[in-house]
Structure 1
Amino acid sequence: MSRYQPPLTLTTKMLSLIADISEQIGQLTAMDERLQTPQLRRGNRIRTIQASLAIENNTLSIEQVTAVLAGQRVLGLPREIQEVRNAFAAYEAMPDWQPSSRTDLLRAHELLVGGLIDEYGQFRRTGVGIYRGDKLIHMAPPPSRVVHLIDDLLAWLGASDWHPLITSCVFHYEFEFIHPFADGNGRMGRLWQTLILSQWRPVLSYLPVEAVIRDQQEAYYAALSAADLLAESTPFVEFMLRAMSLALSEAVQGEPEIDPVTDPVTDPVEKLLSALHLNGPRKISELMADIGLVHKATFRANYLRPALAVEWIEMTHPESPSSPAQKYRLTQLGKQVFARLKSAKKF
């Protein structure tokens, strides 16, 4: 049994959030068989990957990430495209790993950053400081201590009897504090927290918490800094529990996609599929006119991205997402979805 115990103050806020999250997990588990089809799980995984990489300054959009994983050409930096492929491979391999295994941790890092840095699948050998602009916000422990610190943390993880929600958040913070790799630490911390949670409740394997973190990125870094100042993970644990609660709330409410075969498709996506079926490939401006929308941001968020994420539609020019000639069309899967909806007299 590990002698190391990460410092933490259990707060009433944490207990309240754990109760809320547990209730939401129960609701999501009850819905899971009905909602979490392979297409929707893939869509959530794409959201997870795009958000986790965006936190690390990858500029590819949901549409571009979807195209990369579909094997289509995308106009983007080769490094960013490789990051997407690596991240998808890492998340797909996640069920084969044990959270407390150093070997699995190194294998995961190799998948995540292989071909991007020289020191993949191995701990860093140099000192590292984390900067925001010109300001040093965290000096990681020296490389000579990394193996010892990680082994202590993994041993604690394997023996901990704390609630898995707390354990996963504490591990995430402690991992970021150690910063064991030359690159990819943020992505690895978020991946490993998902691994821990997925072994507690499998429904959490596809929960895109990273999308919440991306939208609250300043608060994420502020929570890390606050934990550093207190020398315990309490502020970060509270932040991550809130992020999980929000992600679960969105999932329980069915945002943004619903399986059209077993449940009514969301009204926006239904209108989009109908427009493309009736008119064939269309530009965004044409689709918005077909549907009767004037706000492009609303169209992208509620119509276009959900349908792209589950591969019901695709770009005619995926290698150049911003091309003036860009149009969108139904995929074969989208045509099948539409046919089933039509046969069910939904149109």
Structure 2
Amino acid sequence: MSNAATSWPALEWESQVWLPTTGFGGGRYKAAVPPLIAMLTPQPSAEAAEAASTAANALSRFDAELGHRVAAFAPVLLRSESASSSRIENLTASARAIFSAELGAKGSRNAELIAANTQSLQAALNLSAGLSSDAIRDMHRILMAGQPRHTPGEWRDQAVWIGTRADSPIGADYVAPDHVRIPAFITDLVAFATRHDLAPLTAVAVAHAQFETIHPFSDGNGRTGRALAQAVLRHRGVTENVAVPVSAGLLADVEGYHQALTAYRAGDVSPIVLAFANASMRAVSNARRLIADIDEIQRSWATRLTVRRSSNAWRLLDIVARRPVLDAVTAARELGVQRPNAYPPLQALVDAGILTAKAERPFWRSTEILGAIDAFAERAGRREMPR
């Protein structure tokens, strides 16, 4: 291990007593005690530092170059980030199911969870200017809404661990810090994440790894931690217009991502910095491909739609590109018209073969845009860099 790698303090451990509710199987276990990092400066290897710098520039360039028009696709990229972050934890759903769940459709629990993750990501971006412990709790509250068993927005009050046994932390591979330490650790983490003297992507990677090490909630830590990463990217000004789907880049090597978290806890920041740098480069490449695909689809729409130029059907095209599943209420709101006036432009797009109608529920969808988003998700799961 290099000197740079060993300059970051490894976890320490403290003995805790496990008292199961059944009264049987109690004993002692070791809980993690992470270092306080607010005043520490991570020093990744030269390779990792250079990769992080290159990736941060690529993220900023993508955001700036396409910022004037990527904002129109921001909802699509946000949902792609949400779906990718959820997929790391084996929560998968089609783009159609996710967009439909946001309109209230039932039937896919995973899609509902991913839709909640999208809302949490949006909250993270909204709160990025004022990152705080309360902001992190708000992200979690939105993410876990409807799951009171996991006390949305509240720090855990019990042990959590990674291991083969669900009923005891004794012998677990990793036990997160004792719950009484969480408020102090999160305050320290926020102080680190809001510093401006650190290389931005290195700060993002370390803040994320520290959050996952603290594991402050009883569930939803991975998705909340990746939402936090987006907030720190926005806070540091790396991105200003869109949530670049970095989690989609992490999908290419989930095992490597988890190994990097383990290395971080052992005192080596380089692997997690490299993981985020590589993920960011994949994300930019993949997102550019998605936007190019949507551009091509929109160009084909312009040749198919033959109604008069003053028709709201033309305005609806841009809406469909970022909201490929619509109901009449949403279409009317986006167009700024009364609901009855939304039906003619919707029908015009159906007649042009741009939208299809779902008879059993009043939804209209673009199979082409949904297909492009699903193709994005498929590319994200491949180990090779998307071209």
Instruction: Identify whether the pair has TM-score above 0.5, normalized to the shorter chain.
Output: yes
Counterpart contact for 1:28–1:203, Cα < 8 Å? no
Q: Could you tell me which residue of structure 1 aligns to residue 92 of structure 2?
A: 59
Q: Which amino acid aligns with 2:238?
A: R
Tell me which amino acid in the other structure corresponds to 1:57. Answer: N
Query: Does the 8 Å contact 1:17/1:245 carry over to 2?
Result: no
Partner residue of 2:271 out of 235, 260, 264: 235
- Percent of pairs identical after alignment? 21
- The answer as to 2:59 corresponding to 1:25 is yes
Gaps of 5+ in 1: 279-306, 321-327, 335-347
Other-structure match for 2:335: none
Larger-gyration structure (1/2)? 2
Deviation at 1:195, TM superposition (A): 0.5
Matches within 5 A, 1:122-161: 122-131=154-163, 136-159=172-195, 161=197
Match of 2:46 in 1: 12
Kept after mapping to 1: 8 A contact 2:192/2:207? no
Residue of structure 1 in register with 2:9 after alignment? none
Amino acid corresponding to residue 51 of structure 2 in structure 1: L
d(CA) in 2 for partners of 1:206 and 1:31? Answer: 14
* TM-superposed deviation, 1:259: 8.6
TM-score (norm 1): 0.70
How far has the Cα of 1:274 moved from its partner?
8.9
How far off is 1:189 after superposition?
0.7
Amino acid at match of 1:208: P
CA contact (8 A) 2:71 2:242 kept: no
CA contact (8 A) 2:59 2:284 kept: yes
CA distance in 2, matches of 1:201, 1:41: 15
Matched residue SS, 2:290:
coil
Change (3 A) 1:132 1:5: farther
The residue type equivalent to 1:123 in the other structure is W
Secondary structure of 1:257's counterpart equals helix
Equivalent AA in structure 2 for residue 311 of structure 1: P
Q: Hey, what does 2:380 align to over in structure 1? A: none
Secondary structure in structure 1 of the residue aligned to 2:219: coil
Q: Deviations over 1:58-98 (max 9, x none)?
A: 231222112222x1625313xx3432332222222234314
Partner of 2:256: 219
TM superposition shift of 1:43: 1.1
The range that moved more, 186-195 or 148-157, is 148-157
Instruction: Find the residue that maps to 2:186 and give its secondary structure.
Output: helix
Instruction: Sort the Cα spacing of 1:44 and 1:184 in 2 relative to 1 into closer, same or farther, 3 A.
Output: same
Tell me the amino acid that sits aligned with residue 85 of structure 1: A
Q: Deviations over 1:177-235 (max 9, x none)?
A: 0101111100111001100101213346420111122232122112112222x234331
Q: Give, in whole Å, the separation in 1 of the partners of 2:120 and 2:84.
A: 15
Mapping for residues 1-347 of structure 1, pairs under 5 Å: 4-6=38-40, 8-38=42-72, 40-69=73-102, 71=103, 73-77=105-109, 80-97=110-127, 98=129, 100-118=131-149, 119-131=151-163, 136-159=172-195, 161-199=197-235, 200-203=237-240, 205-228=242-265, 230-251=266-287, 254-258=288-292, 265-266=295-296, 310-311=323-324, 316-317=357-358, 330=366
2: distance between equivalents of 1:18 and 1:173? 15
Q: After TM superposition, give the deviation of residue 9 of structure 1 in Å.
A: 3.2
The amino acid across from 1:84 in the alignment is: I
Partner deviation per Cα, 1:276-296 (whole Å, 9 max, x = no partner): 979xxxxxxxxxxxxxxxxxx
The gaps in structure 2 that reach 5 residues or longer are 1-35, 307-319, 326-353, 371-387
Any conservation in 1 of the 2:189–2:207 contact (CA below 8 Å)?
Answer: yes
Aligned partner of 1:221: which letter? H
Aligned residues: 285
Compared CA separation, residues 275 and 67, structure 1 to 2 (3 A): farther
Question: CA separation in 2, counterparts of 1:177 and 1:318?
Answer: 48
Structure 1 stretches of 4+ with a deviation exceeding 6 A read 132-135, 274-278
Contact 1:113 1:184 in 2 (8 A): yes
Query: TM-score, normalized by length of structure 2?
Result: 0.63
Per the alignment, do residues 314 and 74 of structure 1 end up closer, same or farther by CA in structure 2, a change over 3 Å counting? Answer: farther
Q: Is the 8 A contact 1:157 1:167 kept in 2?
A: yes
Q: CA RMSD in A?
A: 3.5
Whether the 8 Å CA contact 1:72–1:319 is kept in 2: the answer is no
Aligned amino acid, residue 244 of structure 1: S
Whether the 8 Å contact between 2:324 and 2:365 is mirrored in structure 1 is no
Q: For residue 256 of structure 1, give the secondary structure of its aligned residue in structure 2.
A: helix
Cα distance, 1:142–1:315 mapped onto 2, change above 3 Å: farther
Code of the residue aligned with 2:98 in structure 1: it is V
